[in-house]
Structure 1
């Protein structure tokens, strides 16, 4: 899926682990898209299934979502457009989440199509989840129209927060409760980042700790895993235009 850009005003770290069933070929993707100033689009998605077909659909969706974000599409508008695209592909089901970070306004706007919730770690506070509406996965609505609309919500985001975005391969395991596993993710991230400034090195170490805590048997893990950590310094960080 290529390397996203490194943005001086938005420290990040990411990890990708391929399924042992189809190593190197999967349907997970994410992208970080500069939108001008300190506004940034972030998309993460998961095409159900594995193999070359899932990878091909992922590539198309990544390109489409990047182009839509660069046109200034709102999160709900972008999700509606992607839903129409997936609806034309027989038998495809995709979870996806798109958010727009506005570091000058200290807020985030998010829209989810059946994707696991973003974990947020505010400075000085306990980790939790971004309380955003969760729509149906892409490809569920009737391509002819009349489906469930995608909702977006804008929430405050204190400077110094860290966001954790991920695909379900990180938190789903047979015989476990996914909600409890998301709680483990949040607690582990909180412990890894407690009292630390979220620079790239700190985020990188935290990403390793999260993978180790949640993927206890990597040689047997049968789903792709994607993890993205973002540090959000706020309006007074480095100038994105220099």
Structure 2
């Protein structure tokens, strides 16, 4: 459990955002935004949030951003461009958002290289799998015959996932071998990327969480833990890992 002691240094967590058309008051413009539940979860777990909107990727930009971060979260959002994993788009797949794909891929690769603690949520899990060479099911109803993971209309559905023993995820959620989660996705992992381990799955075989097989903190879940305000364990774990990383980074600079 992360410490919320006011004397304990709060690690800086970068959280990626949407870049979509948004309306507020008289303004109707493209804007970067993120549902408040994401940064509420991080701050309640003891972290400081820095929002990371999609922006042009050039030499050294992701590296410069990661210089100031102790942890990274890739959030939910539009589907990953299927061209990134060698497929043509399914009719149900979102129009490509290449700006966000390129930005998050760049941030992720630097974070993994530097062993910055990483947490992927929904789309974030898919970005991780694709970045490491995996593929996605573009429309799960075609695969499992139901829309149990996506009711549409902004309504999250409840599903049960089974945790794999002896994984980091199982240790974070100690005392549980099954977990009720909130889902909102129509895509999921198809071919698992090399280096990833499945740490949770559903009764229909859909992968629900993965983590790196190495010792570094890199976990991603297909569900939306930010919507479960009463259970901050995954955010607590990220903030704890980020605090350790910050201490090491500051020590190295000193």
TM-score by length of 1: 0.29
- 1 or 2 for the larger relative contact order (CA 8 Å, sep ≥6)? 1
